[in-house]
Structure 1
Amino acid sequence: MRRSQKFEKPQNRKGTLIQLGGYLMRYKWQLFVAIALTIGSNLLALVGPLLSGYAIDAIELGMGKVNFNQVFYYAFWMAVFYLASAGLTYVLEVLMIRISRQVTYAMRKDVFNKLLDLPVGYFDVHQTGDVISRITYDIDTVNSSISSDLIQVSSTLITVLGSFFMMFAISPPLVLIFAVTVPASILVSRYLVKKTRPLFRRRSRKLGELNGFVEEMVSGQKTLKMYDQEENTISNFNIRNKAAVDAYYHAEYYGSMIYPTINLINNATLAGISVFGALLYLAGSMSIGQISSFVLYSRKFSGPINEMANIMNDLQSSLAAAERVFALLNELSEAKDTERMANLENVNGDIGLENVQFSYDANQVIIKDLSLQVEAGKLIAIVGPTGAGKTTIINLLMRFYDVGAGNIYVDGNEVKEVTRESLRKSFAMVLQDTWIFHGSIYENLAYGKENATMEEVVQAAKAARIHTFIEHLPDGYETILSDEGTNISKGQKQLLTIARAMLLDAKMLILDEATSNVDTRTEKKIQEAMRYLMKDKTCFVIAHRLSTIQNADLILVVEQGNVVEQGTHEELMAKGGSYWQMYQSQFE
């Protein structure tokens, strides 16, 4: 059952920058060193144009009238300063790569930990591919920005301020040219950035949607081939692919306007400096060397502004990616257990539901007013039409969702008053959707029981009627299963998950269509083995095949969120009600 409410947060650029800054401040001492290196390397580079001017002024008018001693002296120190600046820049680059690596590691770790803390409902409304896109592509985009763009931004600030100071020291009147061009650059940049920011946000979102679609189609290859949907799938992919590349194109196209526009303004600035500098030289207010130094400083002043405009695209892309990452990190986690909550211990298995109501959204109530008592050690079967609320009952028992009203009790303890860990460890659960991870068969079977011995694993496998199959594999229980167990059949995967559940020392078992992928004969053998292994334990079985639940101690017939009938198979057949009609529809 999917919920309709959205988890999207409103866009918050300021909040995103604050959170990103929080990650950077985890490595504040390395950042302080990086700032010092940035200041040092840029200040050393700023000395070069001044020395160049001095060297030019050592050249007098007329052939051979050059003071080579002064020229070589200033050229030597220019080389020293530039080499020192290059060395500091190299160290800075290495340090920033190290910082970005640490930030990426921490961010990806936090996102993965957050995924484990999120309620089940989050994954009901978010595509797996989109979630994966956030933890891979979006974080990589942020990482790239940290390792390169931050250096450029900080270098730009220092270079611009330093160059402006040097130009003002050389010729205050000539600096007045920037009183016109700098405001023009700022206004144009702000306007274009404001226009492009939503485009980069849309680009990240469309790429996430494309990844989500691809993930769904790859996992459903057999189904789409069975229904001959290749052409339709390609058509749908082309639509999403075009939307993604169009979003990328529009973001890059309009973002690319920033650099040439700012560059045009800076070239106009250089033309103005050339004209007015020549007039000041003729007036005797400036020397040739000073004009040369001023021009070099003007290029250092305008060059970083050009670079700043050029990296705005990357910054906008990184900001959009960071927004998506932090939107996930800012989701409400599953409520934490409080200290006053007790641990379920020595569980007996008595379960009670008292006037339970629940809805995934306000428009559709799933469970209306459900009350029932289940004695420990009973096998309870839950049947009913699709959408009646069968699986929802299981989700409420496990506290994947909390009830909207009413109470659920385990051994007289209200489930909201006990820790989730102790509650969920009291259940063993087998779902219709099997989950097998990359690892050995032994690791998959022992997944839920720490330090499980091989003897215990083998016993569970025998009970689930999968031991013989495992023994015939080349490496037996050490056979490596591929991701999602694609190298074994679906029925075999289901038997493995059943064996995994049998291995747990849990007082309650939940089977949600757990034998839907095995044949009837094997299913009956499994049920016989489970009845033996689950002796004195409470077992909930959701089933559509009524032939598999005739020996249940209690059958609950659920319709529209209410238990309309309950009793044994014989009692319900004698009533001639909903259960009788369901049974007749299957066997008539």
Structure 2
Amino acid sequence: MPPGQSFGKMKISSKTEKPKDTKYVFKRLWYYIYQYKLLFLLALILTIVSNILAIIGPMLSGYAIDAIEPGKGSVVFKTVFYYAGWMVLFYVASSILSYILSVLMIHLSQKIVRKMREDVFHKLVDLPISYFDTNQAGDIISRISYDIDTVNTSMSTDVIQIAAGLITVIGSLIMMIIISPVLVLVMFVTIPLSVLYTRFMSKRIKPLFRKRSAKLGEMNGFIEEMVSGQKTINAYGAEDEILKRFDKINKETVDAYYDAEYYGSLMGPTVNFINNISLTLITIAGAILYLLSHMSLGNISSFIQYSRKFSGPISEVANVVSELQSAAAAAERVFKLIDEEAELMDKEDAIDLNMVHEDVSLHNVSFGYIPEKTIIKSLSLKAKSGSLTAIVGATGAGKTTIINLLMRFYDIWEGNIYLDDKEIRDITRKSLRKSYTMVLQDTWLFEGTVFDNIAYGKENATKEEVEEVAKMTGIHSFIKRLPNGYDTIINENGINISKGQKQLLTIARAMLLDSQMLILDEATSNVDTRTEIKIQKAMRKLMEQKTCFVIAHRLSTIQGADNILVVDQGNVIEQGNHIELMEKKGFYYKLYQSQFE
């Protein structure tokens, strides 16, 4: 892996991404909706029917009002009750359909979100290691959780709200034209103002919501980093500094939230104000038309109700636009992850590696994590079949990078790497990596039983096999003392056991696999000397007939290696066994002496 970040330093990409067109984002969202087109079609039908039933209500109300004679006249209650009864019937039916629609949209949005999360997680599995080396875990988690939840909220409410609003606007407009074209012209004096203002604000608030999502991802990344490094923070007494940095990031996130929500919230009241001006003009014009006997009171009442129905969705759209912009910004971040380039495909004629019996060799290999800096320079080395090759050197010399190249976590820039005289780029990645068993310095355990963690890499592993490797690593007696033995649940990341015990469990896991090659990257760095000796003996027995690579800072652990490669600034500067290198009294000799002075 590339050189790790130091405590408290965050990997924040400085690249400025060109925002995608909103239409493109919603086109991508439509792809998910279309996969459940029958459910969506049913929702659309329910929306249309429900809103048509609601639109009929004001017309019936007007008929009922016209049954009232002006002045001291009489009221034809039979007519009033007739139309009022139909109004109740239509409104009840509309409400029932709206309820069914709401439940249906919840199911639809959940299906869409589930599919979206599946696509994101499948993409994560396919991404190269370089993506995780350059992006914060907290930001990635934020995209999977918060951003997709934001899209979910919009899907379950805003999509149908817009569809319902569109039907209401069209239906109300038709009814108003039928009642009085003159009042429609009066009302349309203010409509362009609403439309222009909504478009004007929409363009300005989208960047604010994009910034809000990005800042939340940044804060989540910082929090995830600080929580995982809490012991280090306490040990170095860096609490005050961390609090200052969190306060700064938290303030930036809150400010981003405030700006997005504040300017987004301005749209609704402003558009509502414009619509109220329209209602005032309609009232004045309606009174004039009534005096001229061009309209009845019932028609005026119906028109005003339709004008409210017409302007209502426009006011709601102003609010919905803010939510849609938020959803678009969140979806953009999700799609950006989905669109990341996956790990390069294997060659069409790539072969599966079944058994490894020969040597592992590197010929003039050059590589760097960024184009501007070459870490490995024209490196050549050879590890004989069944041998133990140790790689030592100062921090940053390129030891772990060599392992990354052997496993094809990264592809080399120049040169060749061979297994059994086969260039590794001619081998499928899956079979190449399955040929290795790898134990890293950074242990990884998942929440599950001790048995499951040890048997993780071997399907259908038996209890006897698991216990055997546990005994070989000296962890068996500790496991038996646990409350439920091998069925004891390990907390997330193994926090209820010591670091050394975690390392022993990962080594036992590695021992259980039947691979032809073994990589140990500082694998015994977290165990005491006595346990280390036990592991070394067990490892030597396990590594018989296997090609093994060991990266070690503690040179006492690799004195029995068949070949020791001394790496400095990406080059092998010395090579030989422990005795030969000590006799040379070169770099290795000085390194060895420095550990025992």
TM-score clears 0.5: yes
Pick one of 136, 139, 148 that aligns with 1:130.
Answer: 139
| Equivalent position of 1:10 in the other structure | 18
Pick one of 307, 317, 320 that aligns with 1:308.
Answer: 317
Does the CA-based 8 Å contact 1:2-1:125 persist in structure 2? no
Does the CA-based 8 Å contact 1:8-1:327 persist in structure 2? no
Does the CA-based 8 Å contact 2:524-2:532 persist in structure 1? yes
Aligned-residue offset at 1:338 = 4.5
Aligned-residue offset at 1:178 = 3.4
| Equivalent position of 2:529 in the other structure | 520
Aligned-residue offset at 1:283 = 1.5
Aligned-residue offset at 1:170 = 0.8
Structure-1 separation of matches of 2:199 and 2:61: 35
Alignment partner of 1:280 is 2:289? yes
Counterpart residue identity of residue 192, structure 2: P
Where 1:177 maps in the other structure, the secondary structure is helix
Match runs of 1:341-380 below 5 Å: 341-380=350-389
Question: Which residues of structure 2 form unaligned runs of 5+?
Answer: 5-10
Aligned-residue offset at 1:337 = 3.0
Structure-2 separation of matches of 1:406 and 1:296: 78
Aligned-residue offset at 1:10 = 3.0
Where 2:35 maps in the other structure, the secondary structure is helix
TM-score in terms of structure 2 length: 0.96
| Equivalent position of 2:229 in the other structure | 220
| Equivalent position of 2:7 in the other structure | none
Q: Which moved more, 1:11-20 or 1:256-265?
A: 11-20
Counterpart residue identity of residue 402, structure 1: D
Does the CA-based 8 Å contact 2:186-2:285 persist in structure 1? no
Where 2:103 maps in the other structure, the secondary structure is helix
Alignment partner of 1:255 is 2:264? yes
Aligned-residue offset at 1:64 = 4.7
Alignment partner of 1:187 is 2:196? yes
| Equivalent position of 1:396 in the other structure | 405
Alignment partner of 1:540 is 2:549? yes
Deviation track 1:106-153 (CA, whole Å, cap 9, x = no partner) reads 111221121111111111111111111111111111111111111211
Pick one of 393, 411, 414 that aligns with 2:420.
Answer: 411
Structure-1 separation of matches of 2:191 and 2:76: 38
Deviation track 1:217-249 (CA, whole Å, cap 9, x = no partner) reads 111111101111112111111111111111111
Q: Which moved more, 1:208-217 or 1:466-475?
A: 466-475
Alignment partner of 1:242 is 2:251? yes
Does the CA-based 8 Å contact 1:344-1:419 persist in structure 2? yes
Counterpart residue identity of residue 516, structure 2: K
Where 1:354 maps in the other structure, the secondary structure is strand
Structure-2 separation of matches of 1:98 and 1:546: 60
| Equivalent position of 2:518 in the other structure | 509
Aligned-residue offset at 1:37 = 0.6
Alignment partner of 1:36 is 2:62? no
Q: Which moved more, 1:368-377 or 1:426-435?
A: 368-377
Match runs of 1:478-517 below 5 Å: 478-517=487-526
Aligned-residue offset at 1:209 = 0.8
TM-score in terms of structure 1 length: 0.98
Structure-2 separation of matches of 1:52 and 1:76: 10
Pick one of 559, 578, 587 that aligns with 2:568.
Answer: 559
Aligned-residue offset at 1:42 = 0.6
Aligned-residue offset at 1:530 = 0.7
Structure-2 separation of matches of 1:35 and 1:337: 45
Aligned-residue offset at 1:336 = 2.8
| Equivalent position of 2:594 in the other structure | 585
Where 1:129 maps in the other structure, the secondary structure is helix
Label 1:17 to 1:7 Cα distance change in 2 as closer, same or farther (>3 A): farther
Q: Which moved more, 1:485-494 or 1:465-474?
A: 465-474
Structure-2 separation of matches of 1:479 and 1:75: 69
Structure-1 separation of matches of 2:130 and 2:328: 27
Deviation track 1:486-512 (CA, whole Å, cap 9, x = no partner) reads 111000000110110011001110000
Deviation track 1:314-371 (CA, whole Å, cap 9, x = no partner) reads 1111111111111111111112334421100122152011111111111110111111
Structure-2 separation of matches of 1:174 and 1:147: 36
Does the CA-based 8 Å contact 2:368-2:374 persist in structure 1? yes
Question: Which residues of structure 1 form unaligned runs of 5+?
Answer: none
| Equivalent position of 1:326 in the other structure | 335
Aligned-residue offset at 1:28 = 0.3
Label 1:343 to 1:495 Cα distance change in 2 as closer, same or farther (>3 A): same
Pick one of 81, 88, 109 that aligns with 2:90.
Answer: 81
Alignment partner of 1:440 is 2:449? yes
Deviation track 1:399-446 (CA, whole Å, cap 9, x = no partner) reads 111111111111111111111111111100000000011111110000
Aligned-residue offset at 1:448 = 0.5
Counterpart residue identity of residue 405, structure 1: E
Does the CA-based 8 Å contact 1:382-1:390 persist in structure 2? yes
Structure-1 separation of matches of 2:482 and 2:188: 80
Where 2:567 maps in the other structure, the secondary structure is strand
Deviation track 1:517-549 (CA, whole Å, cap 9, x = no partner) reads 011222122111111111010110001111111
| Equivalent position of 1:295 in the other structure | 304
Does the CA-based 8 Å contact 2:469-2:512 persist in structure 1? yes
| Equivalent position of 1:173 in the other structure | 182
Identity among equivalent pairs (%): 60
Structure-1 separation of matches of 2:529 and 2:229: 26
Structure-1 separation of matches of 2:553 and 2:14: 32
* Aligned residues: CA RMSD: 1.4
Structure-1 separation of matches of 2:568 and 2:540: 27
Counterpart residue identity of residue 564, structure 2: I
Counterpart residue identity of residue 449, structure 2: S
Structure-2 separation of matches of 1:409 and 1:456: 32
Does the CA-based 8 Å contact 2:3-2:396 persist in structure 1? no
Alignment partner of 1:265 is 2:274? yes
Label 1:18 to 1:316 Cα distance change in 2 as closer, same or farther (>3 A): same
Counterpart residue identity of residue 331, structure 1: E
Aligned-residue offset at 1:6 = 7.1
Where 1:408 maps in the other structure, the secondary structure is strand
Report runs of 4+ in structure 1 exceeding 4 Å deviation.
Answer: 2-9
Where 2:430 maps in the other structure, the secondary structure is helix
Structure-2 separation of matches of 1:224 and 1:6: 26
Does the CA-based 8 Å contact 2:50-2:97 persist in structure 1? yes
Aligned-residue offset at 1:256 = 1.2
Aligned-residue offset at 1:97 = 0.5
Counterpart residue identity of residue 431, structure 1: L
Does the CA-based 8 Å contact 1:196-1:254 persist in structure 2? yes
Does the CA-based 8 Å contact 1:59-1:66 persist in structure 2? yes
Counterpart residue identity of residue 563, structure 1: V
Deviation track 1:87-120 (CA, whole Å, cap 9, x = no partner) reads 1111111110110111111111221121111111
Structure-1 separation of matches of 2:251 and 2:358: 55
Pick one of 457, 469, 474 that aligns with 2:478.
Answer: 469
Does the CA-based 8 Å contact 1:6-1:125 persist in structure 2? no
